[in-house]
Structure 1
Amino acid sequence: MMTDQQFMPLAQRYMDTIFRLAFHYTKSQAEADDITQEVLLKLYRTDKQFESEAHVKHWLLRVTINACKKALLSPWRRTEPMEDHTAALPFPSPEHSALMDAVLVLPAKYRVPIYLHYYEDYSCDEVAALLHIPSATVRTRLRRARAILKTDLQEADEHV
């Protein structure tokens, strides 16, 4: 088990990252909060010796993905309108907000690789390792997601 001195800096550093990944996966702020708490408790209770900061982050993201998959299978799962939560997030410009809205509409198999690759700066190989899928599958999903986003955003611009 970790000491408070070991745990607190890690929790503060990665809490937002865990929450954002869980939110992208579940599309529910309440569920993302629960998953964040669950993952941080697992970190606190773990006896695992981490080799580096990158190892800690990778472990936390993998645990978060597993917790999200478990939550999605729950019979008690409920969804909430995304607009309620995305409106409260700070974006540097309206274009960033529109892009985030478009990303959140994507199916999870496209949304999560997009988030990990573009928002968390993981390479395709690292995303593949986190999701336990082949690297070629990650590249295909990223390409398809970009095509969907391009089409959706162009259609949105035409309607404005």
Structure 2
Amino acid sequence: MQQPMTRPGHPVMKSYEQYADMLYRIALVHLGSRQDAEEATQDTFIKLMEKAPVFKDDEHQKAWLIRVITNHCKNLLGRGWRKREVKLEGVEPVTADNPEELAVLQLVLALPVKYKTVIHLYYYEDYAVQEISRILQISESAVKMRLQRGRQLLRLELEGAEAE
């Protein structure tokens, strides 16, 4: 991923170094395409430069960036052109360390957006329910319900795969 054109020590550069990989992973989970995830990550840092918000601390900034990239991905997914998009052969697939992890990751990517977002933040980014609630601006009970339903969908898919 290309780094933004700023001087070393610039606040955006520090943020980029700190959060780019995490934001890219979040976008990849939402969008399923390396190119789209890179573009969404870039757009998020552009928004950071344009808005130049003042943050209380690093956690506040991290939550803001996650919220921005999540909303941006939702907007991209909601656009009509994306629904009519033709998938190209030979696009680099999502990878994992072993076949089992890859199978689970592919199932997570296939979940509806509201479930895969909380599943990703909880299991892959190690956020607590309270933090996810604050970041996504939904109630803690909604986060718990989405985690429960997402797990249930994953369990059904895994059991179906084992039966085959």
TM-score by structure 1 length?
Answer: 0.84
What letter is aligned with 1:66? N
For 2:162, which of 152, 157, 160 is the aligned residue? 157
Task: Give me the whole-angstrom Cα distance separating, in 1, the residues matched to 2:57 and 2:92.
Answer: 33
**Among residues 50, 69, 79, which one is paired with 1:45 in the alignment?**
50
Q: Is the Cα contact below 8 Å between 1:86 and 1:101 reproduced in 2?
A: no
Give the paired residue count. 154
Note the 1:119-158 alignment, pairs <5 A: 119-158=124-163
Change (3 A) 1:54 1:119: same
User: Using the alignment, how far apart are the partners of 1:85 and 1:57 within structure 2?
Assistant: 28
Deviation at 1:137, TM superposition (A): 1.2
Structure 1: gaps (5+ residues)? none
CA contact (8 A) 1:27 1:80 kept: no
Contact kept, 8 Å, 2:30 with 2:109, in 1: the verdict is no
For residue 69 of structure 1, report the CA deviation from its aligned partner. Answer: 2.1
CA RMSD of the aligned region, Å? 2.1
1:97 maps onto 2:102 in alignment: yes
Mapped to 2, the partners of 1:23 and 1:92 lie a distance apart of 17
Query: Letter of the aligned partner of 1:133 in structure 2?
Result: I
Counterpart residue number, 1:31:
36
Aligned to 1:76: 81
Q: Secondary structure at the match of 2:138?
A: coil
Separation in 2, partners of 1:132, 1:50: 17
Displacement of 1:84 in angstroms is 4.4
Q: Does 1:86 align with 2:76?
A: no
Q: Percent identity?
A: 34
CA deviations 1:124-157 (Å, max 9, x no partner) are 1221222222211110111111111112112212
Partners of 2:93 and 2:163 lie apart in 1 by 23
TM-score under structure 2 length normalisation: 0.82
Name structure 2 gaps, 5 residues minimum.
1-5
Q: CA deviation digits over 1:22-65, x for unaligned, max 9?
A: 12222233322211111011223333222222112111101111
